Chain A
Amino acid sequence: MIAIRSPSDFWAGLLFIFFGSLFLYHARGMDFGSALRMGPSFFPIILSGLLVLIGIVTIVRSVIVGGEPITKFALKGMLAITAAGLLFAVLVRGAGTIFAVPALTLISAAASERFHWRTALIMATILTIFCGVVFVYGLGVPMPVIGTWFVE
């Protein structure tokens, strides 16, 4: 049984192979061309081949050479930050600043162990007003205050 002695190398190698293969897969339909006339997939195929190779060597190394373990992931943080960002993207045009900014603030704030409803609500209010005044009116960022879902 082969033991993985460096988990971070092992997973990094796997990630490299994954991305390399992904680019190889999507390059398959394109013209490779020749060295004289490089096609659109010439450089990408060379690079993704290299990336897969580096991935394989990294994995082999991870079995032979020891390395650091992977520390615990901040799952709550990953989830909240992702959700907050995505929700903001969905809401910013349709619902407008007065919904998107509080949603972003509250959900990302919830990632913290010290999350507290009252502070979070105060922050959301301050940030929303700030965004409205500075970004929308001051700098002219085209974020509607109230989105297209509510106002035509």
Chain B
Amino acid sequence: MDVITDLMLGFGTAITPLNLMYCLAGVFLGTLIGVLPGLGPVATIAMLLPATFGLPPVSALIMLAGIYYGAQYGGSTTAILINLPGESSSLVTALDGYAMARKGRAGVALATAAIGSFFAGTVATLLIALAAPPLAEIALKFGPPEYFSLMVLGLLASVVLAHGPLLKAIGMIVLGLLLGLVGTDPNAAVQRFTLGVPELSDGLNFVAVAMGMFGLGEIIKNLENESDRSALVGKLANMMPTREDWKRIVGPIVRGTVVGSVLGILPGGGAILSSFAAYSLEKKISPRSAEFGKGAIEGVAAPESANNAGAQTSFIPMLTLGIPSNPVMALMIGALIIHGVQPGPSVMSEQPALFWGLIVSMWIGNLFLIILNLPLVGLWARMLMIPYHILFPGIMVFCAVGVFSLNNTPFDLYVMVVFGLLGYILIKLNCELAPMLLGFILGPMMEEYLRRSLTLSRGDPMIFLHRPISAALLVLAAVALCLVLFPWFRRTRAAAFAED
């Protein structure tokens, strides 16, 4: 079996003392920062990204993946203990998790989340190992037109599957694409939209942009109403699920894992959609559906397994096609590029150690997550007690120093501040920030593939419809878009994201 050999190579790469340490450090730091209210995985990764620049690419990626799972789990902890989900993917967990916490079962809820995540992580890791090679094989046959169409599909699907007003989300994609083009045009060596600022000739720094929008923008948003919160940490000592609990969570964990794994591969799906879908599925089929929202353990197990499975399988399009399906993957791609690795199907064949090392470290990361979190949950709970007005100036300092250290220039700080303000205004106008970041990362790539496609076809735009794969991808994109216009789908979409 090839997969076994590949996985062995992965184990060989991931299980060096140094890489294990980076994985552990990533999971620890990710949880530590992700647990802080108001900091989702995107902001957490952006904040910790500069810390990985000095590492070799494999270690950096392993650490970043660890940070991602840590941040994700940290968000669930926050959701369960103080009903303040750091990110929308833990929104549903907050419903039943917080209700459990109020009944004094916070410890069991946290343990359930960790166990579900671990199971989902294991399955999803295997799935990646099995699905990625054939997918990359197909992707290697893709020419520029196929890539262009794939990006169109990816971007459109990401807003169709997300929630929120569609037209504005598409506007945000386009705005992101345009902002991504700022800098030197690689073909004509012309400065574009730099307003004569020399620092902009390399383009806007994407970490500064992400940190501004997802870090500073969020801080300003949180300052709107500083309500009191109290962490329900009462009986954390009692964490082990009872035999009755185990019986109740096995089914939801397995179903959540399946739902999450499938939805995670879809662009824009990732963790958020997965957790919503898994929760509504459980609520529909559970004999105890009346208990949902009032502390049903299934309501924690299913979405938590799903969001972890989804978080993991969303690596598949990123690793095989080089296309981000959510903002976290956009950051990962940015990190890869900084480390001199061009994400795409060739990564697997050209850098097998990096590829398989990362996959194995995902599983190890999940293992660390469960080992680390059960004993350390008291520490996380204490982190939660820090009031926000004490916390956010600290976050500001970390954001500022992190962004400054990117290029050691104050210019990136100006970029961060401007995008913080812009991000906040856009949040207020009900415009989603995630599609903009995806567009921002894909802008230059899309332009390049468009250019190459049109050169291939001697300027005939019909090439996108004449090539069968490309045409199929565009038809899919059109279908996805049309679906939203149909009332029944719109209702289902609204229902899938309805909180209750």
Minimum CB–CB distance from B182 to chain A (whole Å) comes to: 9
Q: A81-B219, A142-B408 are in contact. Are A88 and B400 (CB under 8 A)?
A: yes
* Contact (Cβ within 8 A) B167 A92: no
Q: B429: which A residues are within 8 A, CB to CB? A: 8, 11-12, 15, 70
Contact with A40, one of B167, B188, B396, B417 (Cβ below 8 angstroms): B188
Minimum CB–CB distance from B442 to chain A (whole Å) comes to: 12
Bound CA span A92–B412, Å:
12
Contact with B223, one of A8, A27, A76, A131 (Cβ below 8 angstroms): A76
Q: B430: which A residues are within 8 A, CB to CB? A: 8-9, 12, 67-68
Bound CA span A78–B396, Å:
13
* Contact (Cβ within 8 A) B397 A127: yes
Which chain A residue lies CB-closest to B186?
A: A40
* Contact (Cβ within 8 A) B171 A58: yes
Q: A142: which B residues are within 8 A, CB to CB? A: 405, 408
Bound CA span A143–B461, Å:
51
Contact with B458, one of A36, A44, A109, A120 (Cβ below 8 angstroms): A36
Q: B450: which A residues are within 8 A, CB to CB? A: 38, 43
* Contact (Cβ within 8 A) A114 B387: yes
* Contact (Cβ within 8 A) A40 B190: yes
* Contact (Cβ within 8 A) A51 B174: yes
| A55 close to B (CB within 8 Å) | yes
Q: A44-B193, A55-B171 are in contact. Are A86 and B389 (CB under 8 A)?
A: no
Q: A58-B167, A92-B404 are in contact. Are A36 and B393 (CB under 8 A)?
A: no
In chain A between 22 and 55, which residues have their CB closer than 8 angstroms to a CB of chain B?
23, 26-27, 30-31, 34-41, 43-44, 47-48, 50-51, 54-55
| A112 close to B (CB within 8 Å) | yes
Q: B459: which A residues are within 8 A, CB to CB? A: 34-37
Bound CA span A32–B449, Å:
17
Q: A8-B428, A78-B424, A82-B417 are in contact. Are A108 and B393 (CB under 8 A)?
A: yes
Minimum CB–CB distance from A42 to chain B (whole Å) comes to: 8
Bound CA span A67–B223, Å:
24
In this complex, the interface size class of chain B, counting residues with CB under 8 Å from chain A, is 35 or more
Convert B431-446 into 0s and 1s, putting 1 for each residue whose CB lies closer than 8 angstroms to a CB of A. Answer: 1000000000000001
* Contact (Cβ within 8 A) A54 B170: yes
Minimum CB–CB distance from A70 to chain B (whole Å) comes to: 6
Which chain A residue lies CB-closest to B224?
A: A74
* Contact (Cβ within 8 A) A89 B417: yes
Convert B395-420 into 0s and 1s, putting 1 for each residue whose CB lies closer than 8 angstroms to a CB of A. Answer: 01100110011001011011011001
Q: List 28 A-B contacts (CB under 8 A).
A: A8-B428, A9-B165, A12-B168, A12-B171, A12-B430, A12-B431, A23-B178, A34-B459, A35-B460, A44-B181, A47-B181, A51-B171, A55-B171, A74-B424, A82-B420, A85-B413, A89-B404, A89-B417, A104-B396, A104-B397, A105-B394, A108-B392, A112-B389, A113-B226, A114-B389, A131-B401, A135-B401, A139-B51
Knowing that A8-B428, A113-B226 are A-B contacts, what are 17 other residue pairs whose CB atoms are under 8 Å apart, sorted by A's residue number?
Answer: A8-B430, A15-B426, A27-B192, A27-B193, A38-B451, A47-B181, A51-B175, A54-B167, A74-B220, A88-B404, A89-B413, A104-B400, A105-B393, A105-B396, A109-B393, A127-B397, A131-B401
